[in-house]
Structure 1
Amino acid sequence: MESEASQIILIVTTIIIATFVVFIILLFTVFQKRKNSLLEQQKESKKRFEREIAETQIEIREETLRNISWELHDNIGQLLTLAKIQLQNASQDNIHEVSETITKGLTEVRALSKLINPEAIKNIKLREAIQLEIDRFNRLNFINSALIIKGEGELNNEKSCIIIFRILQEFFSNTIKHSKASNLTVELNFSEHYLEITAKDDGVGFSSLEGKSNGIGLENIKNRAKLIGATAVFTSEVNKGTSLNIVYKL
């Protein structure tokens, strides 16, 4: 009887151990599959992020080329034409005006050279890149613009800087083309852990019922913000303007 009991105990123990081993193997297999799945998701997210960065850089470059075209045609071209006319009618009395026009032209060329140089744009700080845009809007009389900076922080992540700058460029472009606004204000508020950016115009705005959010790339902007762990929120009212609020964890 003792022999039979021992055999039963041995069989039960073997079954328990075998069951435990199978359970461990299954658990390890599930864990490994989940781990592989997470790694694949991370790889895909990294690829998507890098692809988005590349596309954003191309868009910034295209926007820069459009800006250069506007500068050459609407600003520098007009200054050179004016200087030519003034030179044709130059006299001792108006030679100072000719000199001033040429000086303005040189100033505009220097400002334009910052846009042309890809390394300058690549290495520029966010606040400097935004200031260049604001200065250009004011120079060309596109819209009365201002940049307000609060706090002493700085955004040092180059890729996040590229994404945020392109989001703001998209907002600026729609403000100038569609909002009929007179004023544009951009505020950078640096705190210890966050950068909050608010871009605001006083244009015609829109209601949520008009469905214009897709027209200004709201989903695209939100998705880009998510890539860098930021949030982007639009607020707009008819005849009261539109604002974009971005919050980014430093």
Structure 2
Amino acid sequence: MVQDTPSVFVIILSGFILMLLMGSFIILMVLLHRKRQIENKQRLEALQAEFDKTILNAEKEIQEETLSHVGRELHDNIGQLLSLTKLTLNSSKPEKIQEGRQLVNQVIKEVRTLSKDLNLDWVNAIDLEAFIKRELSKLEDLNFCQIEFEKTGQAEEVDQSKKLVLIRVIQECLNNVIKHAQPKKLVITLIQNPQLLAVHIEDDGVGFDTQKASNGSGMYNLQKRMQTIGGSISITSELGKGTLVKLILPNSIA
């Protein structure tokens, strides 16, 4: 019995060491799990901060674009209408009085339209189809180029924050067309279904080298914004053969 004492001691010692190893392993796993939780929380907070920043910037830019539009309308449209109204009402001819009243009514209508533009509640109230048609009508009024709008699928509800970013991205794409493309024809296609939302913006303008454009901050900003809302942007272009922009937002329908 005395001879078995070392064996018993070895067994007890081995068990104790095994318990220490198991305890250390459990503690290590708990610490690793806790570390992953903290990292995941920090990652989510960073993503949320980036999303909030994107939304804030989109709102700010839409406000600036709206104010710029209002300024142009006040100077080029309403200012001219008021000058014409003044000249008409200063005339001594009786028939000019009625013409002047009609001009005053037109000025009032234009001012009401501008007041609605200044209130950004229209962003929440308008759907994407109506927004795209609204932007295209502005280009038609300028006789910019031949305009076409196509639609596939039924209109679906879109998350308001994602819609805000999409609206700004579409505006920026159209601004690029106006500034650089020199097209004869512009076609926008809206595709909506329960699986995805897509907007295709295609022109037959001068085109550009996409490899050079990919190094610019404008392209990066558009890609970053679409990524922030879970979407993507692809651009196909060739010198002299126009440009096709595809905005894709999978599973974006609320």
> Within 2, Cα distance between the matches of 1:151 and 1:90?
58
Q: Report what 1:34 is aligned to.
A: 36
Provide the aligned length of Structure 1 versus Structure 2. Answer: 249
Q: Report what 2:204 is aligned to.
A: 202
* Local SS of the residue matching 2:213: coil
Q: Report what 1:234 is aligned to.
A: 235
Moved more, 106-115 or 189-198: 106-115
**Residue 207 (structure 1) shift:** 1.9
Q: Report what 1:245 is aligned to.
A: 246
Q: Report what 1:17 is aligned to.
A: 19
Amino acid across the alignment from 1:212? A
Q: Report what 2:150 is aligned to.
A: 148
Counterparts in 2 of 1:98 and 1:238: CA distance versus 1, 3 Å: farther
| Pair 1:44-2:39 in alignment | no
> Within 2, Cα distance between the matches of 1:215 and 1:95?
56
Structure 2 unaligned residues grouped into runs of 5+: none
Q: Report what 1:59 is aligned to.
A: 61
**Residue 68 (structure 1) shift:** 1.2
Amino acid across the alignment from 2:18? I
Moved more, 169-178 or 74-83: 74-83
Q: Report what 2:114 is aligned to.
A: 112
Once the two structures are superposed, residues 200-227 of structure 1 have per-residue CA deviations (whole angstroms, 9 ceiling, x without a partner) of 2222111235x23455711110111001
> Within 1, Cα distance between the matches of 2:83 and 2:214?
41
**Residue 130 (structure 1) shift:** 2.4
Moved more, 132-141 or 106-115: 106-115
Moved more, 118-127 or 24-33: 118-127
Q: Report what 2:186 is aligned to.
A: 184
Using CA pairs below 8 Å that are at least 6 residues apart, which structure has the higher relative contact order? 2
> Within 1, Cα distance between the matches of 2:30 and 2:161?
37
**Residue 51 (structure 1) shift:** 1.3
Amino acid across the alignment from 1:202? D
Q: Report what 1:7 is aligned to.
A: 9
Residues 210 and 235 of structure 2 are in contact (CA less than 8 Å); yes or no, is this contact kept in structure 1? no
Moved more, 119-128 or 46-55: 119-128
Q: CA RMSD in A?
A: 2.5
* Local SS of the residue matching 1:218: helix
Amino acid across the alignment from 1:225? M
Counterparts in 2 of 1:72 and 1:243: CA distance versus 1, 3 Å: farther
Q: Report what 2:139 is aligned to.
A: 137
Residues 181 and 202 of structure 1 are in contact (CA less than 8 Å); yes or no, is this contact kept in structure 2? yes
Moved more, 162-171 or 213-222: 213-222
**Residue 25 (structure 1) shift:** 0.7
Amino acid across the alignment from 2:37? K
- Quote the sequence identity (%): 31
Residues 202 and 241 of structure 1 are in contact (CA less than 8 Å); yes or no, is this contact kept in structure 2? yes
Q: Report what 1:220 is aligned to.
A: 221
* Local SS of the residue matching 1:160: helix
> Within 1, Cα distance between the matches of 2:107 and 2:141?
12
**Residue 151 (structure 1) shift:** 1.4
**Residue 37 (structure 1) shift:** 0.9
Amino acid across the alignment from 2:54? E
Counterparts in 2 of 1:139 and 1:214: CA distance versus 1, 3 Å: farther
Residues 123 and 164 of structure 2 are in contact (CA less than 8 Å); yes or no, is this contact kept in structure 1? no
* Local SS of the residue matching 1:205: coil
Amino acid across the alignment from 2:172? E
Amino acid across the alignment from 1:189? I
**Residue 153 (structure 1) shift:** 2.7
